[in-house]
Amino acid sequence: MNRLFVGLYSGPSALGVDAALVRVHGVGADITFNLEHFLHVPYSPDLRALVRRAAGTGAVDVRTLGTLHRALGENYALAVRQLLEQARQAAPATWAIGCSGQTIWHDADGRFPAALDLGMTAVLAERTGLTAVADFASRDLALGGQGSPLSAIVVSRLFRHARECRAHLHLGSIASLVYLPANERLLGFEAAPATMLLDGLMHLLTNGREPFDAGGKHAVQGRCLDPLLERWMQNHFLQQRPPKCVPRHEYGADFLLRAIDQAKRLDGTLHDTLCTMTHFVARSVAHAVHAYLPAAPMRILLSGRGVRNGLLWHLLEQRLQPIVVEKTDAHGVPAEAVHAVAHAGLAALTLDGVPTNLPSVTGASGQRVLGQVAPGSSANWSRCLAWMARMSEPARALAA
């Protein structure tokens, strides 16, 4: 049995949406995922600015938030249509969409842990005719979990090796780490803020002209301000043991503005600030690897847009020696496609009735089938319903 699913992912940096067409083979413990096609659809400048405003300061009214919710749904639907056209696949051949949504708020440690992901799945289902599955984090949060990283169960199917202890490091807005031992249970956690800091600094330092530091070309022109780096490394989150989730609100615009001011007091330039922040990301990730993994992996597979940053890559290689560091491209999935592939996998597992949150990763009190479902067309939904009925007895479990 093989089925086609679409995965959509849009990170906090608000650059656009990643879309992956994934062929899913088998069910339950035998499931595997193969990437068929991938593309990135950029947000318009206006939409990017609005997402940044909503996620950064929250200074948007309810009407604007509702409009953004709808606009993101339309953008996701456009990405799906473009993906299927490029892959020369008709929508009826595809089963469902797994959508990350655009995260505006994620707080796992507050009095009432909650996540808010925008992107109207009803619009996505209506425009494409495909069943859409989204809001994966909320059920895990309801169980006392961190709500992230939920991709661990798919990552294990993509990159685990029977004879080699590995880890997967996703260098996106957040650096998330999944430990992949050959014969033991998975572990995972969010290790540090990553490109959200570098992108946020670039946005402030260039007044929005450059959304990210392409290749690390600006950071490499600066010097590391060691007193400032040591100060940042004392942050309570970095000393907290897993399971844990990066408190996004603590590393937002206020943190970045303070960082710029602190650098100026040390006679640092704008390049120095960015260089020091790049060192901070690399050192925080390396600290997480050395301090919180049961044993050093033989190999760490990197994905996410951060792999394009040459300085960050170099610093990670230095701090992680002698561990082999390489892109996931060498293992069948392009580095920038991994999260989109993971969301296609999560949607497939939801339809299969497989619990996809792992307590050893998120800290939840139990495992559940995740996601909120928006039915597609009558024909598509009938097929999905019939499949889910077949899968429900007996319930299938995915060995982790």
Domains and CATH numbers, the chain: 2-152+338-392 (3.30.420.40), 161-336 (3.30.420.40)
291: number of CA atoms within 13 Å, CB side? 13
Q: What is the pLDDT of residues 25-56, one digit of tens each?
A: 999 778 999 999 999 999 998 999 899 888 87
Ordered DSSP codes for 335-351: GGGHHHHHHHHHHHHHH
Q: What is the pLDDT of residues 205-217, one digit of tens each?
A: 888 788 888 899 9
Instruction: Read off the tokens for 356.
Output: 């996809």
Tell me the C-alpha to C-alpha distance, in Å, between residue 178 and each of 57, 147, 193, 359.
30, 14, 15, 13
Tell me the pLDDT band of 159, cut-offs 50, 70 and 90: very high
Close Cβ partners of 19 (under 8 Å, ≥ 6 residues apart): 6, 7, 8, 38, 39, 40, 41, 79, 80, 82, 83, 340
Ordered DSSP codes for 104-159: EEEESSSSS-EEEEE--HHHHHHHH-SEEEE--HHHHHHTT-----TTHHHHHHHH
Neighbouring C-beta atoms of residue 104, cutoff 10 Å: 20
Q: What is the pLDDT of residues 100-133, one digit of tens each?
A: 999 999 999 989 999 999 999 999 999 999 999 9
